[in-house]
Structure 1
Amino acid sequence: MPETTTIDRLELADRLVRTGNYPSTRAALAAVDDVTRAIGSCLAAGQTVHIRRFGRLSVADTPERMGHNPKTGEPISISAGRRVRFKPSKALLNGGEL
């Protein structure tokens, strides 16, 4: 199984600079921040974000449900909430060039 690596926003910006499309890490970092901010605001508004050959991000409501306190075993109510779901594209799943 391949080793799992976490890429932070600075590493992502450095990779963008290495493509030659951004003159500096600062410019690439601004682009990363702009994209993540735009995706976040769309999701906060309840919109679905579809990025071709990458995948689809959507917001799903989760209903209120019963759980338990792990220390005491006492039943508790877990309030309803919203979760972000990601469905990868076939191109991403197949490891093809995006």
Structure 2
Amino acid sequence: MLWKTYPKGLVANVSKGRVPEACRGLAGYLAKYVASPPIAARRIVNYDGQTVGYWYKDHKTKSKKFEKVHVYTFIGRMVQHIMPKGFQRIRYYGLEATRT
């Protein structure tokens, strides 16, 4: 419904300021993923032409988990983070600013 109502997207006017303590973790999490690639190259530990092995931090157990998936599955997970053609992204303001 929102996509039909606002076909050009939504604009969030976020002013710089103090992040409430209850939202600090969420703000840091979102800023990290909006301003950086979905996975760092150093987290990919194995590639044999058919499968990709990588590690991630499991937030429930707070431990490092290793996963090995087919290369097409891995690519599918990564392309979800590619911005649509013509998407205008502001990089250095509000939550997306790496310093904020």
What is the TM-score normalised by the length of structure 2?
A: 0.24
| Structure ranking higher on relative contact order (CA contacts 8 Å, 6+ apart) | 2
TM-score, scaled to structure 1: 0.25
Q: Counting strand residues as a fraction of each chain, which structure ranks higher?
A: 1
Query: Which of structures 1 and 2 has the bigger CA Rg?
Result: 1
